[in-house]
Amino acid sequence: MITCSTYLFAKGNAAESKNKTEAYAKCDGLANQALGNIKVVAAFGQEEREIKKYEENLIKARKSGIKNHCQSAANLGFFLSLNFF
């Protein structure tokens, strides 16, 4: 039972960590692109658009992080409850 719990914990944690890392990488790419072309962004008045795109991707990363931590907490709680039964 403990082995199954550990396996599920590791598998779920790895998948969610990958999703979270990909989301933050996308945010990083958007920020680097906007800052690298700051003159063009400013010239066309697209600051708000770039901020909105960044925030949308940051929300996805935040949701993925919250899901990862909730799943980790549930798995840890299950694993620790096995010690009592």
CA angle 78, 81, 82 (to 5 degrees): 90
pLDDT value for 37 = 92
* Rounded CA separation 45/38 (Å): 10
Q: Each residue's pLDDT tens digit in the chain (85 positions)?
A: 778 777 877 887 888 888 888 989 999 999 999 999 999 999 999 999 999 999 998 998 899 889 888 988 888 888 888 887 7
Specify whether the CB–CB gap between 10 and 62 falls below 8 A: no
Range of the domain at 54: 2-82
**Number of structural domains the chain divides into:** 1
* Rounded CA separation 73/78 (Å): 9
pLDDT value for 28 = 93
* Three-state secondary-structure class, residue 63: helix
Task: Quote the pTM value.
Answer: 0.72
- Give CA 46 to chain center in angstroms: 26
